[in-house]
Every structure is written in C-alpha cells, then in structure tokens.
Structure 1
Amino acid sequence: MSRTAHTAQRGFSLIVVLLMLTIAMVLGIGAAQVSLVGERSARNDRDTEIAFQAAEAALIDAERDVLGPNASTAQRLCLFNGKDVSAFVPGCGGTGIRQGLCAQGEPGAKPVWMSADFAAESATSVAYGTFTGQTYAAGNAATGVRAGTLPARAPRYIVEAVRNLGGWQSSQLQSASVRNASHLFRVTAIGYGMREETQVVLQTSLYKSAASPGCPS
C-alpha cells in the first residue's frame, strides 16, 4: 500500500471517530435535557398537588366556619343565616368578625371572587383557622420563612352571600319575593404550593337555611 493511500485511510478514520463522538455528545445532551424536563415536570406536579390540598383544606375550614361544628372562641356561626345576610359587606370590606364576608356583586359586574384580595396580610380574606382555631403547617412568605415541602403560606378564603334563585332541590322553585329570599354561601379558597406563585383556586356552595342553634332566629 502506498504512503498516500495509508494517509488517506487514517484521515478517513479520524473523520469517522469525530462524527461518532459528535453523535454521542448530541445524544447525551438530549438525554440530559429530557431528564431535566422530566424532573421539572415532576416538581411542578408536586407543587400543584400541594396547592390543591391546601385549597381543599381551606374549603373544609370555611365549611366549619359557616356550618359548624365550631367550638372555637372566635367562632361566628350566628352571622351565617340564609335569610339574613346583613353581615356581608360590598367588596369584602368587613372588619373583625365580618372579615372575608362578601355581599353579592351587581348584576353583570365582575364576580366578587375574581377581584378579592387574597394577599398574605389581607383584611378582606380569611386565613386558615382564623375563626375555627385550626392550624395548617405552612411557611410564611411575608417573613421569608420556608417550610420544606409544605405550602409557602397558609391558604385563605372568602365567603359570598349569593341569592338563591331556586330551591335547594332542583325540582322546586322558590318565591321571588324579597320576604322569601334566601341565600347560598359561596366559598372561594386559594391554596399555595412550595412556591407562592403556584396557586390553586377551588369553590363550593354551602346551604344554611337558618341560623345555628342558640343564635337569634
């Protein structure tokens, strides 16, 4: 074999090796990217699940707040009466035991829950346990305290008094007169994940036809 042919073969082998190395590098980078995307997706799913569980816990806390049983010294069961919603304030602007109680918005207006303030120190929404004495392990975004795999901060909720246009049973109609008007209590709860920007909002409607036992009727 001539020196020229031998040199050409060595040059061709080098090109093949370089191509194989390039392919291996590209495959390695692709595999690393897929792995990172999978890890990020799993982390986001976990964060969303934590936020969902927190929002569900807030709904349960609100149900205890509205319907009872609630043995907390801060309880306000007497404010919830489907026939009397005078404690509910436009714009959720109540204070004290009226905190987080929202009067129904005007027809055609933006839903109250979409404009409510759920900030950590808000006076117009209720933090978990405020009126029930319950606790929920979470961090504190206001002070920068992190809580590992727990929510960045405690869930919150508001309660809207919504006019009940029909009977609680779908087959029964309700009188439209003001004297016979009744209301449902629509709860909107927000839960947070490990990152405060991960949020889940849940709603439920509670029916309470009259005041709790021991309350003025």
Structure 2
Amino acid sequence: MTSARAPFRQRGVALFIVIIFVMLSMLLALWASRTSLFQEMLTGNDADYQRTFEAAQALLQDAELDIRGEMADGSACSAAPCRAYTSSLQFPGDSKEINPLITLLEAEATRCKDALCTRRVGRQDFWNYAKEETVVKPAANAASGEVPLSALKAVGARYGQYTGAANTTAAGPLNPILTETDEKHGGWYWIEIMRYSDAAKSASLIVNASTSQLPLNLDVYVVFRITALALGRKPGTSVVLQQTYVRQRLKD
C-alpha cells in the first residue's frame, strides 16, 4: 500500500528573483543613459567654449590689423571699410595727435567711440556689468566710464568691421560666433589708447654692463590695450581676452 504524496506548493521565489534582476537591469540602463547624457553635455559645453575662445582670438588679431591700418590679407588700407576711410577717429600717427584724440574720447559718455577708448580709470572688468543695476552708482562714476556692458557693445567693433575680414568660405562660416550680429551673441573688441609716461619716454628698456642703452623703439609713445569679448552659442559661455599692442618702427 502506497501513501499519497502531499501536493507541491509553489511559493513564487523564482518570479521574485526574476523581478529583482529586471529592476537591476533597468537601473543599470538608466545609469548608463544618464552617464551618456552627462558626457554629451560636457562635450558640448567644451566644444562651445573652444569655439568661443577661438572667436576671441580672431577678434584680437582683427584689432591688431585695425591698429596697423591693414586689410585682412595684410595689404595697406586703400578703401572702405578701413577706419581711415570710414571714421573721423584715427589712430595717432605722431605724438601730437594723442592728446586731441584722448580729449575727444573723454567727452563721450562711455569714454569710447568706434571701438576706440581712453584708458579705463574705473573698474577694469567692465564685461561683468551686463545690466544697469550691476553698476555701482553709475551717475557718480560716469566720468570713469562705468556704464553697462550693453552701452559698450554699441561702441565696440565687430569682426572685420574695419578690416574687411570675412568669416565665410565656400563651405560656410569658419566660426558661427563671429557671424552673429545681435546684442546677446557674437563678439566685440575695444582698443584703449594709453600714453607712455614722461619718464618712460626718456628711459631705456635695457642697460648692459658697459652702460650702453637700448632706447624705446616706437613710432609714437602710445600703447594700445585690446579687449576682446566673445559670447558662445550656449547661455553662460563667454571668453574675454586682453593684450597690449605697441607699434614699432624699423631701425634705419
């Protein structure tokens, strides 16, 4: 006589384990997708910054050509859009022209006109004052040219404005930032006209052991400080580059 076997009870353990593995797989897939999205955002931000940095460098080079009175191909200006033919403001050709130019610029509310500016005597990081309310006591500081960035953008120069430099090729624009023309995008440069001090005019740059001196080899005792500002395609991306530039003459 055989005894009856007790019925087998299914407790659902296998189903529970399968559900756990499915949830883990979903979490892993979600983590992978978020990581990929984060890496894509980093790559996009870095690419936008590099593009903006290159635009600022191009603006510095364009400003140097503007100072030298040259076209984008390096030839001398002979027609528009070069500054000598489009503006009454020109870079000083001799020391006697510096003071009248600075006097003219100081009469402007922004201390700038046609991208030419006097030396800033107020806060130097003017690019950080994007709005009127960010300027501390604008009325009291009007003499120092502390005005919102929007006011300075109106008197800044765009890429190729005075050199004829083109940002396009047959395949399209080299840098899309330089083709932007609205206030919130693109790039600008400003050139400050700064005198050498009277002591610097007569001082020498190098004195060797035999007391022989190397005099300052300049056409005009003036230094140009160029500030280039480029705004990226993404909100919050901006690059500011500054450099000083001095024109020199060749030895006879």
TM-score scaled by length of structure 1: 0.69
1:92 positional shift: 4.1
Rounded to whole Å, the distance in 2 between the matches of 1:65 and 1:148 is 20
* Matched residue, 2:238: 199
2:189 pairs with 1:157: yes
2:238 pairs with 1:186: no
Native 8 Å contact 1:55 1:201 kept in 2: yes
1:123 positional shift: 2.7
Rounded to whole Å, the distance in 2 between the matches of 1:92 and 1:82 is 25
2:83 pairs with 1:76: yes
2:247 corresponds to which of 205, 208, 211: 208
Q: Check 1:68–1:87 CA distance in 2 against 1; reply closer, same or farther (3 A cut).
A: same
List aligned pairs for 1:1-217, cutoff 5 A.
Answer: 2-3=6-7, 6-8=9-11, 11-70=12-71, 71=77, 72-76=79-83, 78-81=90-93, 83=95, 84=98, 86-88=100-102, 89-90=105-106, 92-94=110-112, 98-106=113-121, 109-111=122-124, 113-114=126-127, 119=150, 122-137=153-168, 150-151=176-177, 153=180, 154-164=186-196, 171=206, 182-195=221-234, 197-208=236-247
Q: Matched residue of 1:79: which SS? A: coil
Which amino acid letter does the alignment assign opposite residue 13 of structure 2? F
* Matched residue, 1:178: none
Q: Matched residue of 2:37: which SS? A: helix
1:208 positional shift: 2.3
Rounded to whole Å, the distance in 2 between the matches of 1:50 and 1:73 is 29
The unaligned stretches of length 5 or more in structure 2 are: 72-76, 85-89, 128-145, 181-185, 208-212, 214-219
* Alpha-carbon RMSD: 3.5
Q: Deviations over 1:19-46 (max 9, x none)?
A: 1111111110000000000111111111
The unaligned stretches of length 5 or more in structure 1 are: 138-146, 174-180, 211-217
Native 8 Å contact 1:187 1:203 kept in 2: yes
Rounded to whole Å, the distance in 2 between the matches of 1:67 and 1:184 is 13
Q: Matched residue of 2:101: which SS? A: coil
Which structure has the larger Rg?
A: 2
Equivalent residue pairs, number: 186
TM-score scaled by length of structure 2: 0.61
Rounded to whole Å, the distance in 2 between the matches of 1:82 and 1:34 is 61
Rounded to whole Å, the distance in 1 between the matches of 2:115 and 2:61 is 15
Stretch of structure 1 that moved more, 188-197 or 22-31: 188-197
Native 8 Å contact 2:55 2:175 kept in 1: no
